[in-house]
Amino acid sequence: MPGICEGRVVIVTGAGRGLGRAHARAYAAEGARVVVNDLGVGPDGSGESGGPAHDVVAEIRAAGGEAVAHGGDIATTEGAASLIGTALDTYGRLDTLVNNAGFLRDRMLVNLDEDAWDAVMRVHLKGHFLPLKHAGAYWRAESKAGRTPRACVINTSSGAGLLGSVGQGNYSAAKAGILGLTMVASAELGAYGVCVNAIAPAARTRMTEETFAETMAAPEEGAFDAMAPENVSPLVVWLGSEASAGVTGRVFEAEAGRITVMEGWRPGPTADRGARWTPAEAGETTLKLLAGAEVPGKVYGAR
């Protein structure tokens, strides 16, 4: 029986390890032809190696699938353009883009230097924007030529982007920015036949193994591995298939066997006096509104 992504061409960034590797393999298992992007850097973004991307391509081909490696830096215009070009030159089309690449440079805010801030913003936020920009330009051209695509983008945010995470001000800000980018891209690219969604996954990867060492430990043999990256991939594959048509501008948490539709900022309790408040009146009214409002979720790591 054909897979739900049979014949589709899918790009996965940061696909050499962890979640990206699991996504790439899952797409290939469902019949997609996959462009496996990975710069081969360390958990903090240092060093480069083409090995991880080529290893995943070899795994996919050994299982009977189709894949090609791309080792460019997708946080540069040249690298992002060549990424989309690799899909078009190799397979003649592009149907799905999974933005997943990233790394960590954790510090408490008072110890966080500009280089660590800029590096994390660059790989996560710019590394989502540039592939999305170039893929979007391709899909727009296809639509204007009368070949309206059934295209999909899945961006990767985090619980840190939804709630914040102590010691991860740069990462939390970047992941929150990805959510805003997702909403804008969904609105702008919808006219060209593109659905854009985001996930906030939780899984055992190089980026999380130290932060969540106790809760993300591997299970006993034969038990369900709740924190395996492969648990997140089924949702990502479905979102990248034609079966998800019409689903756009949404954010999903995915962890273990759980999928949650996240509901973002919405108007809560409000008061309108029809005239300007004094500071004291504004404060008194605000306290009354807060008393009837939902309590925010706790920041990860907060005491």
> Catalytic site residues?
158, 171, 175
Q: Are strands 96-99 and 9-12 parallel, antiparallel or unpaired?
A: parallel
Contact 221, 229 (CB under 8 A): no
DSSP secondary structure code for residue 67 in this structure = E
70 DSSP β-pair partners: 37
Query: From CA 274, how far away is CA 137, in angstroms rounded?
Result: 45
User: Which pair of tokens denotes residue 105?
Assistant: 């440079």
What are the contacts of 90-95 at 24+ separation with CB within 8 A? 90/33, 90/35, 91/9, 91/33, 91/35, 91/66, 92/9, 93/9, 94/9, 94/11, 94/135, 94/138, 94/139, 94/151, 95/8, 95/9, 95/10, 95/32, 95/149, 95/150, 95/151, 95/152, 95/240
Buried b (16+ CB within 10 A) or exposed e, 281-303: eeeebeeeeeeeeeeeeeebeee
Query: From CA 190, how far away is CA 293, in angstroms rounded?
Result: 34
Contact 199, 157 (CB under 8 A): yes
**C-alpha of 80 from chain center:** 16
Residue with tokens 């897979």: 3
Distances (CA, A) of 84 to 15, 95, 96, 172, 278: 15, 11, 11, 27, 55
